[in-house]
Amino acid sequence: MALNETLKKIINIGTALPTSGTTGVPKRIFQPPHKLQAANSIARQVQDITINSRILTVCTLKHAGGLLAQTLPAVEVNADVDVQKFNPYSWVRQITDYTHSHLTPDMARAVMKTRGFDTLNLSGITVMCGSDRVHSRIIQSFIDRGATFIANWGMTEVGPVAINSTFTPGDTVSLTESIMGDQIHCDTKIVDGELLVKGDICVYDDWYHTGDLVTYNNRVYYYLGRIDAIRTK
């Protein structure tokens, strides 16, 4: 109860979160209340989070993915949220008691290697995955077990659910390591190969240089890598 009250307070007053450092020197970014509330609304819409949802949060609340992708959006509508330290064995044992969970790609790979995953029935469960490249093998593994799987791109500076693709059981996923998404929840443009974004969910009002090199084909964004990593090779 105390945690829920703290999280509700964050929605009303905002909070500062650290960046991962991929856009430069790690820094703390203040998320004002109106930006959080706009991002929460989009996250609920994308993931169909309602008062009846049950969220298993295993990403740390100290970073945007753990706090903003599912936890705050669910708390805002009084859905049940269970915050635990990540353990792939516990996740596999418990996940069928929940409707939603957010994983990083590394967490998803750990879950896939866990005994019991092969026979797991994830029907009715939505798994969002982001914070790094989401390989098609991860997506296929989860939807083959009945999950609705959302490959997601976001940043602390931009919002937790900015660009994503939703995959459902029966889909065949094209072999790629670079899916960003075809569902776009902010203004975007590409300048010299770099993705620029702005909008209600973005912390900054002007166009923000993400530092990500992307392509846009057939209305889908694909991630190529970080500018500083690729252009210094």
Per-residue pLDDT reduced to its tens digit, 109-161 = 999 999 999 999 999 999 999 878 888 999 999 999 999 999 999 888 888 89
Left, alpha or beta for 10 (phi > 0: left; psi -120 to 50: alpha)?
alpha
Return the DSSP state at 96: G
Q: Contact 38/11 with Cβ under 8 angstroms?
A: no
Q: How far apart are the first and last CA of the chain?
A: 50
Whether the pLDDT of residue 233 is over 60: the answer is no
pTM summary value: 0.90
Q: Return the closest-CA partner of residue 50 out of 117, 101, 99.
A: 99
The helix or strand, by DSSP H or E, that contains position 25, with its residue range, turns out to be none
Identify the pLDDT of residue 2: 74
Identify the structural domains of the chain with CATH numbers, from first to last: 2-230 (3.40.50.12780)
**Amino acid at the residue 34:** H
Give the mean pLDDT of the chain. Answer: 90
Dist CA 110 CA 104 (whole Å)? 10
